[in-house]
Every structure is written in structure tokens, then in C-alpha cells.
Chain A
């Protein structure tokens, strides 16, 4: 009896662990997205001479009309070397309002070589995409610009400087107001974004966003290590098969492949 109970417990535990594992492939429930693969990565700017590695954790909270809450957490391991090469390993637990299932997404962005690699550890393959150095803001460029434009008409407060995860960071709070009646709202809607930016690392080490329309998110870089990461993280392992993706062009990254 005791043995059977232990066996059942072991099976349940193993099943649970497998379900939480980053390499799990699943179709996802209703409303979920199934992560199929990483495509490519890019950086908005290339930062050299400021290596680091960290764990990026984002908690997303949505409050429903009935008062219930949906909470999702997504994590990523991020690495950047002195040359500005980046590696991001992201779990597929959540993507904002979407819950997601599927394999871990791993991307190497090498602005030195002008290439991005999307790794598939399960099949030991990598897909490369050439990204010219001059195009450090491909594909999502206008999305970034939209975000910048959104900030342009906002009230900005300086929050001073504080040490976050061992690095100095400058704080800024941006508040945008949607006036009553603009979108059918009875009262003003305050949308607040707080960012803490490290001038040394040239990255945001923490940000909080509160948008009553969609939810709240808190992003933070934890366990920041400013040592040079292992160089092998920024190259495709030798036992991987590399396939050439489309060259990035005006339509390259948008092509269906």
C-alpha cells in the first residue's frame, strides 16, 4: 500500500515537473498560444564594453471585471558580451495577456557578424538570418516608434537614482491620461510606466506598467552579473546544423517561410 502510494506520488510529481519544464510541447488550451519556434532577435542599439548576464522576470497581472485576477510570470536568461552580442533564452509561459506553451525560445543576436540565430536544442538546428548592422531596428521598428510617440505627450517625473540589483539606476515615471469620454470612459484613465535605467549597462533593469485597460506588469533583471559571459553562449554549437533563413530586407523578415 505504502509502495503504491509512493509510486502514484512519484508519477504525479514527474508529470507535474514535465508539464512545467521548458522543453514541453503542448497544444495549449483555449485562448493559449503554442510557441512553435523562435525566428530571430535584434537589438535596438548595440552596446559594447558593458557585459552582463541576468535573469529577466516579468509578472503580468490582469484584473477581471468580477474582481478575479489572472497572473502570469515569464522568465528569460539574458547574456551580453563586451562586443554587444546577445543571447536570450525565454520560457514560453506567458506573453502578456497570452498564456503560452511550448519549447524554450533561444536567440543569439550577433551585431558584429550582422546575424541572428534561432536555436532549436531539441533538434540541434539553428536558423540564421542576416541582419545588417545599419538595420538595428528591423521589423518592429515602427512598433518601437509608436511607443516613443506615446511617451512624447506624457507627463514625465524624475524619480532620482537608486541601486537595483547592485547597479545604479535612474528612475523615470511617465503618466499618460486618457481623458474622460475619449474612449467612452466615465473617468480619466491614468496609464503609468515607471522605468529604472542603468547608464552603466545601458539597459532598463526594472519597469512597472499599470494600464487599467489591460493589466499591470512588473519587469526586473535579477541576479545581474557583470562578468564577461562564456563566449560559447554567443556561437552556434558545432554539432548544430545551421540553415540559412531569408536575408533581412524590406520584406525579408516579413516573408512567410
Chain B
């Protein structure tokens, strides 16, 4: 009997015990055993469910990283979802944000490079619209392209 069978057997026994006492409330020890067995089973099932997904996620991340390191025409990173600002290296040491203002600016791509944003050489002469995340001190913490 493997672990999984053992847990199933344990669960079955507990359910039988519960059924035998179906007319009244389950005794405390039975309830505790059922809950414990159920939790153990669910943990194992979750693990079995998530392991393949975890493997797939790792593979997806690896592919994503590989693509990110592949030279492209424009390499201005725009982070997805709500984490959409590219954090600026020059802001690493600044105090934690208390409040912030997001402003739209027009700036040459070369300025993005000055701010540490990796951009390709051929884009340097272009001008783009971007949004800057300014902290309470007016210093930029992050940038994202708006255009």
C-alpha cells in the first residue's frame, strides 16, 4: 500500500465511522480525524496538481528570459500588469514612496538611456511619450512608455 492508498483508506474509515453515527453529531475525535485526513489528502493532491504546472511555469519563465536576452529592434521594457513601471536604478537608494504623482512627459529615447533604461542605439534620436512615477520628493522612481 502506497502513501496515497493509505490516506484514501484512512479517509474511507473515517467516513464509515461518521456514517455509523449519522443520526447524531460526529464525535469530536472522528471529526478531527476526518478533517486531518482530508487536509492531508488535499495537500498531496495540490502538490500533484501543481507540480506539473510548476514545471510548465519554470519552462515558460526560461523561454521568456531567453527571449528577453535576445537582441531586438527596441528593447525598452514595459512590465506587464499592475507592475508596469520600469524601476530606475537611480531611485534605488531613495526613501520609500509615501505618495506619488504620475506625469506624462515627452523625452528623447537617449534620456531613457541616461536613466538606465536599456534601449537600442538606433532609437536614440527618437522622441517618445512616457509616464514617470514621481515620489513625494519629485524624483523619478519608475518609467513606462505611453506611446
B97-131 toward A: CB 8 Å interface, digit per residue (1/0)? 11111111111101100110000000000000101
Is B138 a contact of A94 with CB atoms below 8 Å? yes
Is B94 a contact of A147 with CB atoms below 8 Å? yes
B35 adjacent to chain A (CB < 8 Å): no
Is A95 a contact of B132 with CB atoms below 8 Å? yes
Closest residue on chain A to residue B102 by CB atoms: A39
Closest residue on chain A to residue B94 by CB atoms: A209
Is B82 a contact of A151 with CB atoms below 8 Å? no
- Total contacting residues, chain A, CB less than 8 A: 72
Is B147 a contact of A256 with CB atoms below 8 Å? yes
Number of inter-chain CB pairs below 8 Å? 202
A106-123 toward B: CB 8 Å interface, digit per residue (1/0)? 010100000000000000
A86 adjacent to chain B (CB < 8 Å): yes
Please give the distance in Å from B27's CB to the nearest CB on chain A: 43
| Secondary structure type dominating chain B contacts | mixed
Report the bound CA distance from A138 to B95 in whole Å: 18
Closest residue on chain A to residue B105 by CB atoms: A33
Report the bound CA distance from A31 to B146 in whole Å: 18
6 closest pairs, A vs B, by CB? A254-B84, A219-B137, A33-B107, A142-B83, A214-B90, A74-B138
Residues of B that sit less than 8 Å from A by CB: 79, 81-85, 87-108, 110-111, 114-115, 129, 131-134, 136-142, 144, 146-147
Residues of A that sit less than 8 Å from B by CB: 27-28, 30-45, 56, 58, 60, 74-76, 78, 86, 88, 90, 92, 94-98, 100, 102, 105, 107, 109, 138-144, 146-148, 150-151, 176, 191-193, 195, 203-204, 207, 209-211, 213-215, 217, 219, 250-251, 253-254, 256
